[in-house]
Amino acid sequence: ATGWREHGPILLFYWAPGCRRGAAAPAGRGRGAAYQAISVTDFFVGRYGRFDALAAKAVKEAKKRHPEVTLTLVLPYHPALRPVDSPPGFDATYYPWENEHIPKRLAILKTNQRMVDTCDHLIAYAFHFLGGSGQIVAYARKREEKGLIHVTNLAQQRSAI
């Protein structure tokens, strides 16, 4: 994944447990303009929840109209420990800890923090701020106050539900 940051604005999708099926599809009707308006071409998504699946589906649809768009699967665990092939429609996988050791119990939290630190935009679905999902959105909001990232929490937008 060396050099991936050079492509332009990066958007990370992040979900919180409890995302309902069909809720807040990130690039669904009327929402695709959001990433187009900021010229995002590189999308990063996890694979542990419904929102991740919704986000990946939306980006795969966008790729049909915009071949320059890339979709990358973010891996919180080292691929040697948990081998993962790029799923259909994904362009690559990305493991941000190649030269560092992250304890397994902290892998998801630290990976999410790393992605927030390196992305330009975050689209999240976090309807409460308890546990890890709340910590990540709060962390991203603090970075947003410094002008380092733009955060959209679809759970706080009534029209997105």
Q: Per-residue pLDDT averaged across 30-40, rounded? A: 49
Which runs of consecutive H residues, i.e. helices, occur in 4-153? Answer: 32-37, 50-65, 107-118, 131-145
Q: Per-residue pLDDT averaged across 25-52, rounded? A: 62
Instruction: With beta carbons less than 8 A apart as the criterion, state whether 161 and 51 touch.
Output: no
Residue 131, pLDDT score: 66
What's the whole-model pTM score? 0.75
Q: Per-residue pLDDT averaged across 36-46, rounded? A: 73
Q: Mean pLDDT of all residues in the chain?
A: 75
Instruction: With beta carbons less than 8 A apart as the criterion, state whether 34 and 1 touch.
Output: no
pLDDT tens, position by position, 44-78: 898 887 888 888 998 999 889 888 888 999 999 98
Residue 39, pLDDT score: 67
Residue 8, pLDDT score: 45
Q: Per-residue pLDDT averaged across 103-111, rounded? A: 89
> What number of other Cβ atoms are within 10 A of residue 10's Cβ?
21
